[in-house]
Structure 1
Amino acid sequence: MSFRWLKRYMPRSLYGRAIAILLLPVITLMLVVSIVFVQRHFEGVTKQMTRTASREVQVVLDAGLPASEIGDSRLARTLRISVEALPLDALPSGDSRRWYDFTGNYVISEFNRLLPMLQALDLPDDQVVHLYFAMEDTGLRMTFDRRRVSASNPHQLLVYMFFFAALMTVIAYFYLRNQLRPITRLAYAAEAFGRGRHVEYWPSGSTEVRAAGAAFMAMRARIERQIEQRTLMLSGVSHDLRTPITRLKLALSMLEGEDTKAMEQDVADMERLINEFLDFARGAQETTPEPTDPQALVARIVEEFQRVGKAVALGHCEGQGEVMLRPGGVRRAVENLIGNAVRYGTRAEVSVLMTDRALRIRIEDDGPGIPQAQREQALKPFARLDEARNQNLGTGVGLGLAIAMDIARAHGGTLRLGESERLGGLQVDLVIGR
């Protein structure tokens, strides 16, 4: 039997599931105890007390006294039963009790079973019981204390049970919260590191949680060392590569002739390709996250493209506020995406959507787009989709989308490719969680 349908009703958070695990057995135990208590106490005890009271009533009826003398008899006074004579037409026609009087149902059934001559039984409240009998020429109403057929304060056990169950649940919750807090701290630190932020963390809690926390800190330290070493290496490589290129450009500028223009173009292409390789290797790690207004950042990028004559428009922007971003990395990703859009299309449009949970920067163009079957391949480094994106229009090396994807992942986000409904070309969504 499958219980997958229960998943939609289960809590998502660790605290919610822990509380469910804590409360489920407690509630189940309370229900079982309540059912057993009702069956054994309400039913068993009430029936036993009703049998005793019915025997006393039967003794009074079997005394052989006239109906007018039963109430004044010594036997009735000793058994504390009040007897009153009534006209036959004043007797009720059926039993009555309050709808929520659970023990009253057992009292009525037992009296009717043990006293065949009983005409009617009335349980008006928790104080008295009225029994009605039809004699030969008159009727009788016997009245006695309700406590003789029902236990007094039968709800006390249930009250105590619910009170102490709630008390122990609260105590267990505070203890459980102290055990879960180190796990939530570890999850928060891991999520922040996945988004490129460094959060202070130290292992605490149980042995297993401490071991996981120590492993996370060691992993984070190794990754940070690798990032630092890569940054230093890239700085050296950038300097070593740019120096001979600068010398070549300087030497070519001193030469004359038609051949030098082609050589200068080759050197410019070489410099651009090296910059793309370095951007891909550098990713988004050269800056630290800081509060950034994404709408203002995107607006400045669009203005820069418009200033150089590119057909780029700023579309609908929704939501306000700041997001923890690496401005340099996000700028590089958006510039690469807009550059691809205007290279393979005639115009591009950029929009920004901010919600409580995510930031989405969308770039749309009117170019040929990318078929759905090739979109996953397009996000890989050095991918060249000649048929889809008409690569002969540019001299790229297939790193634009890969750089944007790497930057999105460094922010804990992703890059989604689709088809633009507005412009008919490619639609790229840079999605970053908040």
Structure 2
Amino acid sequence: MKILGKLYWTEKAKHRIKNILPQTLFGRALLIIVTPLILMQAISTFVFFDRHWDTMTRRLAHTLAGDIAFIVDSLTPLPQQLHLNQIFLKADDILHIRLTYSPEEILVKKKHFPQWDRVRKSLRDALKERVRRPFSIDTIKKDRRIKIKVQLPQGLLNVNVHEKRLYSSTPYIFLMWMIGSSLVLFAIAIIFMRNQIRPIRRLAIAARSFGMGRGSSEIKPSGAKEVRQATQAFRQMRERISRQLAQRTEMLAGVSHDLRTPLTRMKLQIEMLERTPETRELQDDIQEMERMIDGYLTFARGEGSESLSKINLTSLIEEIISTERRDGSSINFVNKSKTKKSVTLRPQAIKRAITNLIINSKKYAETVRVELEYNLEHAVITIDDNGPGITPEHRDDVFKAFFRLDPSRNTDTGGTGLGLTIAKDIVQSHGGDLLLSEASLGGLRATITLPL
């Protein structure tokens, strides 16, 4: 149990880390570049503030404490007023320290300053070591000056000094240079990574467009050596596939002509014969052969020659349903989308796929329902019926060419076994998918998903 619990929490932690990490290549590459930069800056800052800045602060604090100790020593014992004024003037002129003396005044201790104030802590330690008299430090700075009070035997010495005696500008310069250099390096990294990612993004767009059957514009190899190799490989693959499709189409056109020629001669010869039950049976056989040839050629040829265009799926589905209702079939259409969106498709190909699915439902069901809805990335067409449906173990098999649930191959109980195969081939050629499941009406549900 402990091992299972540990594995569970390990997998959960991995899942959380994956959710936190950027999902795009640009974000991950930028993270790889920026993370060491941030760590280096953090370590540099820690070393600087822990070593240089702390040492500099102690030195400045000891220097100021030494000046105050010298002044206190000069005022002990307290000189005459004239000599006292001269000391105050020289301290202001040479040491930049303003002094005042309050006779008979006693030092009042104030609350301690925060422990995190390292500058005042250094000054307090330095005054304890150098002055060796009771003192207080005013933590409230006015006009960027610090007030220090030192208790003398006969009064109170007030020291007013500018904060620059305790603070060095080096940390601020260091921080500005560190932040500025980080921003410059970060901007350079962003520009560089965008230039490296752009060819990959173009390649992905071209591959997706070609996979959806929309073709793709000419893509020029650019970027890093590996990206150029991948782009060149994609171009060669696209050319080979396009060439094979063109050769197949030309071959099928010739096969279609060769097969129809003898059938046409047979039809003419039968027309010249006397009308008998035997000749009618021959005519029926020839018509069945023509339908089979048409089905086979349609499956093999596909709809690749048809050009893409933007169509309104709502209007297309309404047109198909209107045609299929002519024989009195019960077909309902539910449009769940509030807005009409145009989708780039091959209209006749999609029309054939949807028609095949509706015809298949009409053969085995009394009621057919067609639904259309859109999400952020796809148009979803659902065709439900109340027929017997298809068992789960056969739902993948029905998409295989020439597969029929009825093994007798009787065309009265089914077609050539290519209707669903052609429908799925058309949908997948558009970058979508066709799935079968159980319908809410109790029969079969066919779901077409098409990318927008």
Classify the TM-score, shorter chain.
0.7 to 0.9
Over 3 Å counting, the alpha-carbon distance change for 1:379 and 1:338 in structure 2 is: same
Letter in 2 for 1:151: S
The answer on 1:13 being equivalent to 2:24 is yes
Q: Give the match for residue 72 of structure 1.
A: 85
The answer on 1:83 being equivalent to 2:103 is no
Structure 1 residues 60-69 or 395-404, which shifts more? 60-69
Query: What is the TM-score when the length of structure 1 is the normalising length?
Result: 0.87
Letter in 1 for 2:223: G
Q: Give the match for residue 4 of structure 2.
A: none
C-alpha contact 2:107 2:135 (8 A) present in aligned 1: no
Q: Give the match for residue 166 of structure 1.
A: 183
Over 3 Å counting, the alpha-carbon distance change for 1:130 and 1:256 in structure 2 is: same
Letter in 2 for 1:419: E
Q: Give the match for residue 230 of structure 1.
A: 248
Over 3 Å counting, the alpha-carbon distance change for 1:29 and 1:68 in structure 2 is: farther
- Structure 2 counterparts to residues 306-345 of structure 1, below 5 A: 306-318=325-337, 319-345=339-365
Letter in 2 for 1:233: M
What is the alpha-carbon distance in structure 1 between the residues aligned to residue 107 and residue 412 of structure 2? 108
Letter in 1 for 2:250: L
Deviations 1:102-139 (A, max 9, x none): 7xx11221233233444431243372222223445643
Over 3 Å counting, the alpha-carbon distance change for 1:316 and 1:138 in structure 2 is: same
Deviations 1:160-212 (A, max 9, x none): 22223222332333233233222222221111111112322222223222222
What is the alpha-carbon distance in structure 2 between the residues aligned to residue 364 and residue 68 of structure 1? 111
RMSD: 3.0
1:131 is matched with which residue: 136, 148, 155?
148
Letter in 2 for 1:231: T
The answer on 1:354 being equivalent to 2:371 is no
Structure 1 residues 235-244 or 71-80, which shifts more? 71-80
- Alpha-carbon deviation of 1:259? 4.3
Over 3 Å counting, the alpha-carbon distance change for 1:83 and 1:230 in structure 2 is: same
Instruction: Give the secondary-structure state (helix, strand or coil) at the position aligned to 1:5.
Output: helix
C-alpha contact 1:289 1:324 (8 A) present in aligned 2: yes
The answer on 1:55 being equivalent to 2:66 is yes
C-alpha contact 1:344 1:368 (8 A) present in aligned 2: yes
- Alpha-carbon deviation of 1:53? 1.6
- Alpha-carbon deviation of 1:224? 0.5
C-alpha contact 1:413 1:431 (8 A) present in aligned 2: yes
Instruction: Give the secondary-structure state (helix, strand or coil) at the position aligned to 1:222.
Output: helix
- Alpha-carbon deviation of 1:226? 0.6
Letter in 2 for 1:351: E
- Alpha-carbon deviation of 1:151? 0.3
- Alpha-carbon deviation of 1:306? 1.2
Deviations 1:304-344 (A, max 9, x none): 11123332222224142322211121111111111111112
Instruction: Give the secondary-structure state (helix, strand or coil) at the position aligned to 1:65.
Output: coil
Q: Give the match for residue 137 of structure 2.
A: 121
- Alpha-carbon deviation of 1:89? 6.5
What is the alpha-carbon distance in structure 2 between the residues aligned to residue 417 and residue 169 of structure 1? 50
Q: Give the match for residue 3 of structure 2.
A: none
- Alpha-carbon deviation of 1:293? 1.9
The answer on 1:244 being equivalent to 2:262 is yes
What is the alpha-carbon distance in structure 2 between the residues aligned to residue 307 and residue 32 of structure 1? 79
Q: Give the match for residue 226 of structure 2.
A: 208
C-alpha contact 2:106 2:151 (8 A) present in aligned 1: no
1:371 is matched with which residue: 391, 405, 419?
391
The answer on 1:290 being equivalent to 2:306 is no
C-alpha contact 1:344 1:393 (8 A) present in aligned 2: no
Deviations 1:279-299 (A, max 9, x none): 221223121222222222222
C-alpha contact 1:91 1:132 (8 A) present in aligned 2: no
1:39 is matched with which residue: 50, 67, 77?
50
Letter in 2 for 1:166: L
Over 3 Å counting, the alpha-carbon distance change for 1:61 and 1:408 in structure 2 is: same
- Alpha-carbon deviation of 1:228? 0.4
Structure 1 residues 122-131 or 423-432, which shifts more? 122-131
What is the alpha-carbon distance in structure 1 between the residues aligned to residue 247 and residue 147 of structure 2? 94
Instruction: Give the secondary-structure state (helix, strand or coil) at the position aligned to 2:176.
Output: helix
C-alpha contact 1:186 1:201 (8 A) present in aligned 2: yes
2:236 is matched with which residue: 218, 227, 249?
218
Letter in 1 for 2:29: A
- Structure 2 counterparts to residues 152-163 of structure 1, below 5 A: 152=169, 154-163=171-180
- Alpha-carbon deviation of 1:410? 1.0
Instruction: Give the secondary-structure state (helix, strand or coil) at the position aligned to 1:142.
Output: strand
Over 3 Å counting, the alpha-carbon distance change for 1:71 and 1:340 in structure 2 is: farther
Between the aligned residues of both structures, percent identity stands at 32
Deviations 1:146-167 (A, max 9, x none): 1111103631221122223222
What is the alpha-carbon distance in structure 1 between the residues aligned to residue 80 and residue 261 of structure 2? 129
C-alpha contact 1:193 1:199 (8 A) present in aligned 2: no
What is the alpha-carbon distance in structure 2 between the residues aligned to residue 427 and residue 15 of structure 1? 41
What is the alpha-carbon distance in structure 2 between the residues aligned to residue 274 and residue 335 of structure 1? 19
C-alpha contact 1:204 1:210 (8 A) present in aligned 2: yes
C-alpha contact 2:61 2:126 (8 A) present in aligned 1: no
- Alpha-carbon deviation of 1:4? 3.8
Letter in 1 for 2:85: D
- Structure 2 counterparts to residues 173-212 of structure 1, below 5 A: 173-196=190-213, 197-212=215-230
Over 3 Å counting, the alpha-carbon distance change for 1:335 and 1:247 in structure 2 is: farther
Letter in 2 for 1:365: D
2:122 is matched with which residue: 110, 116, 121?
110
- Alpha-carbon deviation of 1:92? 5.0
Over 3 Å counting, the alpha-carbon distance change for 1:96 and 1:141 in structure 2 is: farther
